[in-house]
Amino acid sequence: MSGTGLDEYHPGLEGVIANETAIANIEGTDGAGGLEYRGYRIEDLAGRVSYEETAFLLLHGDLPNPGQLAEFDRRLKAARAIPDALLTLFKQIPPHVHPMDVLRTSVSVLAHFDPDVDAAPTDHAANVRKAERLTAQMATAVAYRERVRKGLPLVAPRDDLDHAANFLSMVSGKAPSETMREAFDLSLVLYTEHELNASTFSARVTASTLSDLHSAIVAAVGTLKGPLHGGANEEAWKVLEQVGSPDNAEQWIKDALARKERIMGFGHRVYKHGDPRAAILKRSCAALAKEVGDDRWERIAEPIEREVTAQKHLPPNVDWPSARLYHYMGLDIDLYTPIFAMARVAGWAAHVIEQLDHNRLMRPRARYIGPPLREVQPIGKR
């Protein structure tokens, strides 16, 4: 075979460098592994910066000063409203439709009403404005649709609440406790960005055709829906529900591993020695379990985590603790992935903008493994 490079086959594109990016580093600057947003270690950001500061960092290149943060916060709050046409659509979509499907449609509809809808796809400033608006609007869309499908009155956004507290308030109808607000905000920070994962790659491929930012985010939402990506947090919760009781946990996981079942919420294509986000979020799970007065799920999760890590050498990823975290907040399981999406939109948008600023159409090759060249036979001889 020729040495054209087509001999090199990487299933799932594992290990292939397809882009250069200044947004995130998942190897760590010292090569020891880890996660950094624009040069800041996730361990240093977690608990010290808000989701708003994190979104600003990704979209604008650095952490904001107080004045920049106040102005950014003002812009986000001003953009929280969504068009009446989208609200009408929410009421027409059957209640059983998964929130991720509704969110995918929502992003597409929001594109039609964006003030920069006619801007050129390579207009950097317009793309940043679109990204800021979409960061605010996606959270409102997820919350409003949840209230509509449950037949509950809508709860309007509150300007006195930050992004995390406002979302929880719009979903539940009451402002969260400070412990809950901090934990939810932390989860959004940890979910905001993660380099060239499947949904981000999908967004960049779409943008590389010089499509628009909203189209790229629609592609990302559709990709995130899959249970091997964003849907993994929903599947992680189903594992805990299957076990049901701390008394069953140890035997259940031993039996499941003996049957070679895949346990969702463990292992990562990149992190071979543990997802740093999981360790950070696990502490918040313990704090929330204490606040709600029910540590049963922590006691179920612990032996499962211990056995999978010891026997399969697969430490938990961020989906494992986030499933419990959102349960403690009273959020329905099918909201877990939309929450992932409304956090990740800032990261997706940053990648789309970076792609469009330095664009090259993505067009990989495939290795052909079909039949050799054949002649077309007349239909009577086939």
Which positions are catalytic? 268, 319
d(CA 199, CA 214): 14
**How far apart, in Å, are the Cα atoms of 241 and each of 17, 43, 102?**
39, 30, 26
d(CA 10, CA 185): 37
The sign of the torsion formed by the CA atoms of 83, 84, 88, 91 equals positive
β-strand partners of 25: 36
The sign of the torsion formed by the CA atoms of 110, 115, 120, 121 equals negative
Residue count of the chain, please give it: 382
β-strand partners of 266: 316
Contact 233, 343 (CB under 8 A): no
Contact 228, 311 (CB under 8 A): no
164: helix, coil or strand?
Answer: helix
Containing 168, the helix (H) or strand (E) segment is helix 163-172
CA atoms lying within 13 Å on the CB side of residue 191: 29
